[in-house]
Amino acid sequence: MFKVAVGHSNDPDSDCAIAEVLEQCQKSLAGKIPNAGILFAAIDFDHNLILQEIDQVFPGIELIGGTTDGEISSVLGFEQDSLTLTVFCTDNTNLKILAGIGENVSLNPVAATSRAVEQALSKSSNLAATICLTIPETLGSSGVSILNGLKLALGQQVPIFGGLAADQNRFQQTYQFFKTKVFSDSVPVLLFCGELLFSHGVASGWNPIGKKSLVTSADKHIVYEIDGEPALHFYHRYLGSLTPAAEYPLAIYGDVTEQFYMRAPKTHDSSNGSITFFADVPNQALVQITQASCDDILTASKISMTNALENYPGVEPKVVLFFSCASRRQILGTRAREEYQIAKSCLKIELPCCGFYANGEISPNSGSNWTYFHNETFVTLMLGEK
């Protein structure tokens, strides 16, 4: 038995919100006790209070979570300033769902991710990790460095999903959750070990234009030159006088296939022609500038969901998780709620769904187990039992 329940409240009062969420989960569980859970919360809630209330109702639950830029669920759809909890129940002794945490990830991503994975696996009864979910720190750490650390700790072939915690575009401080405690500068993980079925889909909606070019000078998330000329000149060649912005991200080709992942511009320096992106861009990467309409961006949620459905290896999944990008929400504006509605319309049955808007998404590309760090991308993850 593998059962999932979702609760979601948009009550601004922390006490009332968590009471409503827990009541919804308990009603759906019908007496079953959850093993694990994921909490997504707006930045202004009393997170300590919320975690204590969850532990009162579900003592010892293997719980992780983080703050967000918006929340999604099958209960309320798209919301901001809300609280949503997803809980997982299983009585299968060959499926364990286990949490871990690594602190001070900005100082040493490899050490922090190793501690998080080791803590979770120490409770796994020798079951190997099937997938990893994570909602790590945003502001003082490189999402790519955190992902690389997790790959080292888990092994390169374990798929990793999730998104960076957010703070509603304030870029001041994000929070991560582990059991009954609130952290910052940390990487929480939830490992599904053993007999789990899953599938995923990934799409952005942005379309490459122009020829592929080569990054000839970059230092982590700052790109100095593309095709031997200042990166800003490369952008101006296609956009004229327009400033590099999230509406025109780079497509980064990560392997020999035609699949790519996205990098969104953050700022630029006119004095040296460099562009700072929201995540690392590899030296010698092939790139193309991209463009998209709001309709293109929204259609990507349908493509992501359809790919996950078509690739699900079982009869039907038990839950759908979504990880979308804060930049997508900002670009879509008042149409942001359509993203979940379009994705959900692909489902022929009612399923619990939950997700959040992140400061960067983590997922393999479609049809692969090799995990990438994405920007401006919509990720669908389906989970079920064998």
Q: Return the ∠ at Cα 163 (arms to 178 and 353), rounded to 5°.
A: 85
- 125: Cβ contacts below 8 Å, ≥ 6 apart: 96
Amino acid at 264: A
For the cut 60, the answer to whether the pLDDT of residue 256 exceeds it is no
Q: What is the mean pLDDT of residues 280-304?
A: 96
3-state secondary structure 74-102: CCCEEECCCEEEEEEEECCCCEEEEEEEE
Is residue 206 within 8 Å of 263, Cβ to Cβ?
no
Q: What is the mean pLDDT of residues 211-228?
A: 96
CA 13 to chain centre: 26
Read off the pLDDT band of 14 (50, 70, 90): very high
For the cut 90, the answer to whether the pLDDT of residue 62 exceeds it is yes
For residue 125, what pLDDT is reported? 87
Q: What is the pLDDT of residues 32-41, one digit of tens each?
A: 999 999 999 9
For the cut 90, the answer to whether the pLDDT of residue 96 exceeds it is yes
For the cut 80, the answer to whether the pLDDT of residue 257 exceeds it is no
| Helix boundaries (H) for 42-181 | 47-57, 109-121, 143-154
Q: What is the mean pLDDT of residues 15-27?
A: 98
For residue 290, what pLDDT is reported? 96
Is residue 127 within 8 Å of 44, Cβ to Cβ?
no
All structural domains of the chain? 2-202+297-385 (no CATH), 207-291 (2.40.30)
Is residue 328 within 8 Å of 339, Cβ to Cβ?
yes
Amino acid at 12: P
For residue 328, what pLDDT is reported? 97
Read off the pLDDT band of 367 (50, 70, 90): confident
48: left (phi over 0), alpha (psi -120 to 50) or beta: alpha
Q: What is the mean pLDDT of residues 255-268?
A: 85
For residue 386, what pLDDT is reported? 84
Read off the pLDDT band of 281 (50, 70, 90): very high
Decide: helix, strand or coil at residue 58. Answer: coil
Q: Give the Cα separation of 297 and 292 in Å (integer).
A: 7
Give the up-direction half-sphere exposure of residue 129: CA atoms within 13 A in the CB hemisphere: 28
For residue 203, what pLDDT is reported? 97
Q: Give the Cα separation of 21 and 312 in Å (integer).
A: 29
Decide: helix, strand or coil at residue 114. Answer: helix
Q: What is the pLDDT of residues 101-155, one digit of tens each?
A: 999 999 999 999 999 999 999 999 899 999 999 999 988 889 999 999 999 999 9
Instruction: Please state, in angstroms and as integers, the Cα–Cα distance from residue 8 to each residue in 85, 115, 159, 271, 355, following that order.
Output: 7, 31, 27, 48, 11
